[in-house]
Amino acid sequence: MNPDKLSLHIVDGISFYCIYDTDFLKVVRLSLDPSYMPSIWTKIVVESCYEYYELTKEAPENNFTDIIEHKISPYMEERKKIIREYISKIKEYKTNNNPQNKTYVLNRLSEFVHIRRFTEGAVEFAKIIDSGEVEHAREFMLKILRSGADLNQNGCDYFKDFSSMYSIDTTECLFPYGIKNIDAMRDGFKRKEFVVGLGAYKGSKSWSVIHLGVQALFEGLRVLHVSHENTREETEERYDRMIGGLLPVKYKDNPERPYYQFDYATHKITYKKMKGATVDNIEKRIRARKILKKYGGDLKIYKYPMGSCSMYDIWKLLDYLESVENFVPDVLINDYVDVMKPMDANKSTRDQLNEAYIEHKKMADERNMVVITLSQVRREAIEQEKIKKSDFAEDIRKLANVDTVYSICQTGGQLKKSIATFHIMAVRQGESGYGCGIVQNLDFGRFCTQSFHIKYSGSNYDTRDDKEEGDIEELTDMPVNVGYQGQK
């Protein structure tokens, strides 16, 4: 993104937080000149908030309507209408409980103010040089380079500042894992978190990130899903199948499939035959999307040919979506890092991957979002009951750049029983090294329908070889939010 311009998303964020957030207003007013705003109505919003703060030391919040009406009273009716429409748009963020990403707004605004001041200073610097005052020019340029404090500073005076002791936790969970036993052990995902899922080739890694994407959408979050392996259509289809419980087209002539369940009383894996619609049922797919949209989130899916996209391209995509489509994701799913084009082809494979992992973490920090990618395990670990940290393929250094690592394991025996094991392998803070069994019904698009405690090397689960007696059931009344099944 061009750093000397403010995108529509950032402009709306500035307006929103100037109106509703006193702390934001208090910091921004020291650096942001209202004349920097790109339109007359956004300039009026910022000016009005500044004037109100000077009188009350607070953001205007619900008083803003009266303030703005007084401010625009001398204007022509046509201009009043434009300003009122803009204010209504900003208020919708509050009404829908979907404000802009505050940290990211501050990051972008800080960069913009620095460049704007530097550009203005460069013009004045040239004039001083032309006048022959070299020493004055040197002092002036040093002053410009030091000007414009970072608007998103996160420092404190340890012996004077006690505010963090009383503040609400700003690292609140954005969305859960959607796996009962895991969510009972840890909070869900937080902003600035870089997450890696480990698994074998052709395992259910890609299904796991679809599952997590759905959990985020249930929380009304904005999700960007980038695929390097599956086609865009395949990724769309998997989201539709997960929400709608839809079967692959290959079962159209015989839409009766085993639906596996874990019996908590007997520790047996049982199944019954269930009948479901197939994914070529357009009406069912559209209905699934309408249901998911009701939760208020947004999803964009992009596909790059394998090996053609580097992390530079992901940065460009994020900038494009913000500038052109006013879409700034809360969650980025990148499926997956190991098959991306290297940022520097002259480096060794190990160094290329390490660089890509560092870039993912940088992206999570700068964009204040959750970043999730996938990686393969070493060949020796493919059918292990539990993946170890040393099983990271190619380079163990990748582990140092990650906040959370989860793994999906599935032995041949588990595959036959439609179960797998899900582990929290490593976390930057907190407890790790625990996991659970999960029941999968991938025919119906379900990565996890149940979770259960599991013992290793002598497991506490069994399977029935016979199907349950009874009529075939229709898969029509399944809970929509599949990730939460059995959690409540």
Give tens-digit pLDDT for 103-135.
888 888 888 887 877 777 777 777 777 788 877
Q: How far is CA 412 from CA 203, 236, 362, 389, in A?
A: 11, 29, 38, 22
The pLDDT of residue 485 is 38
Task: Give the pLDDT mean for 332-338.
Answer: 91
In this predicted model, what pLDDT tens digit does every residue of 55-94 receive, in sequence order? 999 999 989 989 999 888 888 888 889 899 999 988 888 7
Going through 255-400 in order, the beta strands assigned E by DSSP cover 256-263, 268-275, 298-303, 331-335, 370-376
pLDDT above 90 covers a percentage of the chain that reads 39
The pLDDT of residue 459 is 47
Task: Give the pLDDT mean for 327-341.
Answer: 91
Q: How far is CA 112 from CA 10, 151, 192, 221, in A?
A: 10, 11, 22, 26
pLDDT above 70 covers a percentage of the chain that reads 80
Task: Give the pLDDT mean for 375-404.
Answer: 64
Whether residue 272 contacts residue 259, with contact meaning beta carbons closer than 8 Å, is answered with yes
pLDDT band at 383 (very low <50, low <70, confident <90, very high): low
Task: Give the pLDDT mean for 214-221.
Answer: 94
In the chain, how long is the greatest CA-to-CA distance? Answer: 97
CA-to-CA distance for 397 and 392, rounded, in angstroms? 9
CA-to-CA distance for 94 and 404, rounded, in angstroms? 32
Query: Is the pLDDT assigned to residue 160 strictly greater than 80?
Result: no
The pLDDT of residue 391 is 57
Burial of 272 (0-12, 13-18, 19+ CB in 10 A): middle
pLDDT band at 397 (very low <50, low <70, confident <90, very high): low
Q: What is the mean pLDDT of the chain?
A: 81
The pLDDT of residue 487 is 35
Q: Which residue has the higher pLDDT, 41 or 379?
A: 41
The pLDDT of residue 93 is 82
What SS3 class is residue 216? helix
Phi, psi of 435 (to 5 degrees): -170, -170
Q: How far is CA 315 from CA 196, 321, 366, 381, 476, in A?
A: 19, 10, 11, 33, 41
In this predicted model, what pLDDT tens digit does every residue of 456-482 receive, in sequence order? 554 444 444 444 433 444 444 343 343
Query: Is the pLDDT assigned to residue 361 strictly greater than 90?
Result: yes
In this predicted model, what pLDDT tens digit does every residue of 422-468 receive, in sequence order? 999 888 888 888 899 999 999 999 999 999 987 755 444 444 444 44
pLDDT band at 282 (very low <50, low <70, confident <90, very high): very high
pLDDT band at 417 (very low <50, low <70, confident <90, very high): confident
Q: Which residue has the higher pLDDT, 479 or 384?
A: 384
The pLDDT of residue 206 is 92
The pLDDT of residue 143 is 64
Task: Give the pLDDT mean for 141-158.
Answer: 58
Predicted structure pTM score? 0.75
Strands 473-474 and 462-463: unpaired
Q: Which residue has the higher pLDDT, 213 or 166?
A: 213
Q: Which of 33-37, 110-114, 332-336, 436-440 has the lowest mean pLDDT?
A: 110-114
pLDDT band at 245 (very low <50, low <70, confident <90, very high): very high
